[in-house]
């Protein structure tokens, strides 16, 4: 049922809505006179994308902001000791989940009652219809659990990757310019503007260098460290017997760091995935930011599409620069992100795509 949510047809219908959410967000970042905390704002962006695009909820901005704060409290306490005591993280997480589910139930009921003005089928629509096709009418509790799972899946890892993408574009202006050159050569970017109607799914999928950039971000800064699997049949590995029924963990990050196919593993080099080198093609499981095998991440194509749409907007319509003297250190938990969130100043653009610099902004110097 969930696989239909991430089909090619579904992604095609989500794309214009994803673009709109990203455009509105970058406009808000540029209108802020102060530098923004990219990681925190990227969390807001991915949460808004999940609510507005995936679920199609028409929640007012003020209420959406309150729901985001509750959701953050829920996420912060997911990995807590299961001790249901007053003031414990577990209790805070349970209460946050209850508040979230009340808000989600209200949004679901409003959505089911108001079907007018819909111009695309969102993930929740597909989930409901797919359930019916399989002879199962989903209960309200199942719908609430399904929507919470979709938000959770689209939230932290995508915010992490979005932040890493922005940081690498800041660190490597030549990569940013090469992205712009590809957009111009494909007729997507002209005179500093994205050509109307040019951002279709097939066009985005034809951008080979953009694909290389996203792959390299996910190789070097894989949001999560690994995954868990259950052993279906006893086997041996390097002389050790792993019994049937055991749980094992595979490390994505260590695999990327030690895989012999990658040269200069610590260097950010999108060209390693280009046609001339294709380092990810030399082995089946050397590159696995979304896991591998039959349990690979269902939402990987949506995640990559979101990151590509963000990169296109950043390369086409944004000017931004690091607001601190040095780049921040990276922490790996709960997902990869800069320790201070990455402070960046975004600049607004006028109708001629020139930077609007006034007052202290003009003193900040050249932008990327």
Q: Put residue 85 in one of left, alpha, beta given phi > 0 → left and psi -120 to 50 → alpha.
A: beta
**Of the candidates 296, 290, 289, 303, the residue with the CA atom closest to the CA atom of residue 49:** 303
Kindly give the interhelix angle for 123-133 and 140-171, rounded to the nearest 10 degrees.
140
Range list of H helices, the chain: 8-31, 38-49, 61-76, 89-113, 123-133, 140-171, 173-185, 201-205, 208-220, 252-258, 300-317
Angstrom distance (rounded) from CA 104 to CA 270? 40
Beta carbons within 10 angstroms of residue 92's beta carbon: 16
- The answer to whether residues 178 and 209 touch, using CB atoms and an 8 Å cutoff, is yes
Angstrom distance (rounded) from CA 94 to CA 77? 9
Q: Is 195 annotated as a binding residue?
A: no
Angstrom distance (rounded) from CA 5 to CA 67? 23
- The answer to whether residues 70 and 103 touch, using CB atoms and an 8 Å cutoff, is yes
- The answer to whether residues 18 and 53 touch, using CB atoms and an 8 Å cutoff, is yes
Strand partners, 250: 227
Angstrom distance (rounded) from CA 230 to CA 249? 9
- Own/partner contacts of 44-49, CB < 8 Å, gap of 24 or more, are 44/68, 45/21, 45/159, 45/162, 46/154, 46/155, 46/156, 46/158, 46/159, 46/162, 46/306, 47/71, 47/151, 47/155, 48/21, 49/18, 49/21, 49/154, 49/158, 49/306
- State yes or no: cis peptide before 181, omega within 30 of 0: no
DSSP, collapsed to helix, strand or coil, labels residue 159 as helix
Indicate the annotated binding residues for heme. Answer: 297
- Which residues are documented as binding site? 297
């Amino acid at each position: 049922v969930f696989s239909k949510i991430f089909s090619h047809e579904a992604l095609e219908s989500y794309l214009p809505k994803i673009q709109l959410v990203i455009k509105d967000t970058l406009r808000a970042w540029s209108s802020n006179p102060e530098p923004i905390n990219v990681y925190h704002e990227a969390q807001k962006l991915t949460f808004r994308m999940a609510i507005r695009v995936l679920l199609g909820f028409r929640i007012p901005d003020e209420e959406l902001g309150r729901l985001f704060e509750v959701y953050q409290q829920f996420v912060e306490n997911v990995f807590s000791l299961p001790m249901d005591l007053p003031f414990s993280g577990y209790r805070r997480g349970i209460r946050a989940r209850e508040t979230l589910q009340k808000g989600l139930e209200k949004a679901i009921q409003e959505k089911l009652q108001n079907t007018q003005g819909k111009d695309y089928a969102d993930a929740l629509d597909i989930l409901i219809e797919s359930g019916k096709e399989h002879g199962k009418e989903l209960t309200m509790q199942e719908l609430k659990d399904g929507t919470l799972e979709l938000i959770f899946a689209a939230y932290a890892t995508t915010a992490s990757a979005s932040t890493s993408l922005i940081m690498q574009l800041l660190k490597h202006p030549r990569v940013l310019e090469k992205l712009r050159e590809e957009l111009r050569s494909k007729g997507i970017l002209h005179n500093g503007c994205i050509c109307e109607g040019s951002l279709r799914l097939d066009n985005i999928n034809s951008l080979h260098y953009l694909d290389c950039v996203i792959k390299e971000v996910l190789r070097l800064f894989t949001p999560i460290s690994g995954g868990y699997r259950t052993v279906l049949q006893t086997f041996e590995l390097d002389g050790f017997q792993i019994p049937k029924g055991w749980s094992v963990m595979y490390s994505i990050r260590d695999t990327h760091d030690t895989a012999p196919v990658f040269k200069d593993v610590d260097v950010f080099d999108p060209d390693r995935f280009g046609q001339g080198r294709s380092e990810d093609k030399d082995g089946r499981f050397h590159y696995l930011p979304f896991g591998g095998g039959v349990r690979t991440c269902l939402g990987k194509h949506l995640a990559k599409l979101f990151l590509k749409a963000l990169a296109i907007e950043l390369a086409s319509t944004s000017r931004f620069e690091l607001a601190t003297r040095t780049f921040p250190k990276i922490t790996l938990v709960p997902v990869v992100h800069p320790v201070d969130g990455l402070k960046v100043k975004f600049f607004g653009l006028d109708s001629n795509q020139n930077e609007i610099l006034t007052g202290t902004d003009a003193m900040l110097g050249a932008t990327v």
